[in-house]
Amino acid sequence: MPGLFLVAAGKIRIFKLSPSGREQILAVEGPGSSFAELPVFDGGNYPAAASAIEDTEVLFISRKDFQSFCREHPDVALKVISVVGSRLRRLVGIIEELSFTTVRQRLIALILRLAQGTGTPSKQGIQVELTKSHQDLAAELGTVRELVSRNLSRLQAEGYLDVEGRKIVVKDLPGLKREQTAAE
């Protein structure tokens, strides 16, 4: 039955699987977010899969009920269209990144985002804690775990990083930024 889901608690991972089993994470949605809106508009199937990352509570709203509600509250329909539009922009960005950049570039971009967002300065450099496994990073970056591990090792050998498990110390932030732009 077509409809959409609202995340009341927890986190939902939205992803696609290739026939060989490789996963591409499209989004992670948390409390207050919705997902699987497309069937509400076109009546078709949802073109991705969803799974809970942690204990999660979701609410389902059928297409019929949602459309009735939107007739009474058009501002809700406009909000959902805005969310779908933002999601489309993000998906186009993912397509662009997968089509036009290497795994190394995508990994460096992720490390730079983490360093500038949640990184903490130390004497050795900027410390970043990876909250995801190499397998999850690979799914996010559109590759396989082995290439994530290999590229992290290369960046460490080249002196940009120190990697110890899920801890990364960015030793040469300006050099890593140069490496990112030089590869583009």
CATH architecture of 103-183: Orthogonal Bundle (1.10)
φ/ψ (deg, to 5) at 182: -70, -30
Angle between helices 173-183 and 103-117 (to 10 degrees): 140
Top CATH class of 3-100 equals mainly beta
Q: What is the pTM of this model?
A: 0.71
- Helix or strand holding residue 129 (H, E): strand 126-129
In percent, the amount of the chain with pLDDT more than 90 equals 63
Q: How many CB atoms lie within 10 A of CB 35?
A: 21
The domain locations on the chain are 3-100, 103-183
Rg over alpha carbons for the chain, rounded to the nearest Å, is: 19
Q: Which residues contact 180 (CB under 8 A, 6 or more apart)?
A: 105, 108, 109, 112
pLDDT by residue (tens digit) across 134-155?
888 898 898 999 999 999 999 9
Residue pair 1/52 in contact by the 8 Å Cβ criterion = no
Task: For residue range 16-31, list pLDDT tens digits in order.
Answer: 988 888 888 999 999 9
For residue 92, the surrounding DSSP H or E stretch is helix 74-100
pLDDT exceeds 60 at position 184? no
Q: What is the pLDDT of residues 41-96, one digit of tens each?
A: 888 888 999 999 999 999 999 999 999 999 999 999 899 899 999 999 999 988 88
- Which pair of tokens denotes residue 156? 């460490």
Q: What is the mean pLDDT of residues 110-120?
A: 91
Give the rounded distance of the alpha carbon of 42 from its chain centre: 25
Residue type, 67: Q
